[in-house]
Amino acid sequence: MAKRTPKRPMVGVLLISTLWLFASAAGAQSPRALENGQVPLMTTPREKRVAIIGGGAGGASAAYYLRKYADETGIKPSITVYERSGYLGGRSTTVNVFDNASEPVELGASIFVEVNRNLVSAAKEFGLTMDDADKSRPEDVPERLGVWDGQDFVFTQPDGGYWWWDLARLLWKYGWTPIRTHNLMKSTIGTFLKMYEEPYFPFRSLSQVAYDLGLTNITSETGEKFLEANNIRPPFSTDIIQASTRVNYAQNLPFIHGLETMVCMATDGAMSVRGGNWQIFDGMIKAAGATVKLNTTVQQIRKTDFGTYVLSSKGKAPSLSPTVQEHEYDVVVLAAPLQDASITLTPRPAYVPAKIPYVKLHVTLLTSPHRLSPAAFNLPSDAAVPSVVLTTLGPDETPREREEGVGRAGFFSISTLRHVVNPSSNGDEYLYKIFSPARITGADLARFLGFSSSGGNDDDDDDAVDDDVTWIYRHVWRSYPYLYPRVTFDDPLLDNEGLWYTSGIESFISAMETSSLMGMNVARLVVDDWKKEVCNNNEEEEKVVVKAKL
């Protein structure tokens, strides 16, 4: 799909803001309407105070687009971003291999694709270097990608890595089904992209816009049913599409909904930002000129009688004052799943998002001089294991949900990311990333990499590094919701015109880009409300001027 820059409803925006500028200029030039001593009737709009809670994709985008849209109208918001962790980027963050800042590796959201308009255009604006997602994959392994069902490899391809399915190989094995899938994906994503444009954008109700676009027809079904209805069947769906839903969302086709299933197949132009995707969100917050409060937990949002909100927050780091601070805002944007935020909303807003289950994803990053062991994958000892192993269920396995959905394979993916040089030994080693529903033990690693597990399976030793595992980093994310079929989604407005929410979009499509879309949408709605306020005020003031003249 060709790269396109976001098309925003520019004409409408320009017209309205021009009108407003014109009105205020006219007001400023007609002081003769005023009696002596009367104060000028045209006031500059009061500064708007905005709090954004969460410095990930949704919060950073809300800040960035709020500044952009406000600049177009001449309103000057002051924006404060509250982030409970010590960094910006949320689930997009890197860790340093061997603690070397020149060797970052993505711990969370690792790629984005061409159709991710907001991310691509922001990365360009900030001058970030984008790499093809498979750029640094080691070349010294013949079969680069394989799908393993816990017993056999059901598909392997010699080239083209994880985000680049080898079409020739797919056609050879599965006939025309891959082409049908690609076409279905393109039309589905094409429909989704209308959410960025008038008349759908901006949207006060995600459920309504999803319905209007016919996307609820796709979210209401499981991936399995949606594919079947489009004549896409096993083994292609179970070998390839399910391997994708598992590596991206840790879910099987009979449980994940059809729209998210299609998103998994939209890998055209997969890329990542050199040095870490978090730089996009960091750049957005900087461009917004926002005040950033890191290591700061928001405890309460209290609505006042004047329709403003008082935030109580507390610093967590030793360097920050541990006392509760209170600040007043006109607008609050909650840009993190409310259910995990432990924030008290007083009084209870008109609408409170329902609690939904999130995937607990174990990410294990490690370095080792060993390659993946053929024995661990039932291969002859002289066979090379693909450098990226995705998994699916065996034909004899009953698909299950939640953690049990992983099945016999026991993990969702193991990727050989790149070569690294071990600073202690100067040896050339491999960097691996494993996604799994449970902790990967030392014994698991010994099996995958074919070394003998030293001294029992004592879990306390799992993180000990030696000659076999030379560096290890573990993290458990609440990474994305279980994306069960549904037709309603949490809307962005929680309370009349002041309290907004971006995370409802995660059960529709959970991705950096969709969080960004919702941040942008909320920004547009907030600035549109301000513009209405300014126009109403000016109209009233103009009426007063006219009366005074008469």
Ligand X SMILES: *[C@@H]1O[C@H](CO)[C@@H](O)[C@H](O)[C@H]1NC(C)=O
Residue count, binding to ligand X (CB under 6 A): 12
Please report how close the Cβ of residue 505 comes to ligand X at its closest, in angstroms.
Answer: 20
C-beta closer to ligand X: residue 193 or 247: 193
Assess 209 for contact with ligand X (CB under 6 A).
no
Exposed/middle/buried for residue 540 (C-beta within 10 Å: 0-12, 13-18, 19+): exposed
- From 149-157, 196-204, 312-320, 432-440, span contacting ligand X (CB under 6 A): 312-320
Cβ contact 84:316 at 8 Å:
yes
**3-state secondary structure (DSSP) of residue 354:** coil
Among residues 396, 365, 445, the alpha carbon closest in space to that of 107 is found at: 365
Would you count residue 103 as binding ligand X (CB under 6 A)?
yes
Residue number with CB closer to ligand X (30 or 217):
217
Q: DSSP 3-state assignment of 33?
A: helix
* Residue 190 binds ligand X, judged by CB under 6 A: no
> Which residue, 178 or 276, is less far from ligand X as judged by CB?
276
Q: How far is the CB of 475 from ligand X (least distance, A)?
A: 16
Q: Which tokens belong to 297?
A: 């937990």
Do 248 and 264 touch, CB atoms closer than 8 A? yes
Smallest separation (angstroms) from ligand X to the CB of 100: 4
**Binding mask 60-89 vs ligand X (x if CB under 6 A, - otherwise)?**
--------------------------x---
Report the alpha-carbon distance of residue 353 to residue 337 in Å, rounded: 9
CB of 187 to ligand X, least distance (A): 11
| Residues 6+ positions from 426 with CB-CB distance below 8 Å | none
Contact segment (CB under 6 A) with ligand X among 142-150, 275-283, 317-325, 406-414 equals 317-325
User: Residue 82 Cβ, how far from ligand X at the closest point, in Å?
Assistant: 12
Cα angle at 218 between 195 and 121, to 5 degrees? 30
Residue 138 contacts ligand X per CB under 6 A = no
- The gap from C-alpha 163 to its chain's centroid, in whole angstroms, comes to 17
Burial of 199 (0-12, 13-18, 19+ CB in 10 A): exposed
329 three-class SS: strand
Report yes or no: 296 and 316 within 8 Å, Cβ to Cβ: yes
Tokens representing 463 are: 């993180």
Binding mask 250-289 for ligand X (x = CB under 6 A): ----------------------------------------
User: Does the protein bind ligand X through residue 294 (CB under 6 A)?
Assistant: yes
Restricting to residues 411-430, which ones interact with ligand X according to CB under 6 A?
A: 423
Options 78, 208, 217, 373; binder of ligand X; rule CB under 6 A? 217
Q: How far is CA 133 from CA 163, 232, 280, in A?
A: 7, 27, 16
Which residue among 214, 289, 395, 427 contacts ligand X (CB under 6 A)? 214
Among 100, 129, 136, 536, binds ligand X (CB under 6 A): 100
* Binding residues vs ligand X (CB under 6 A): 86, 100, 102-103, 214, 217, 294-295, 317, 319-320, 423
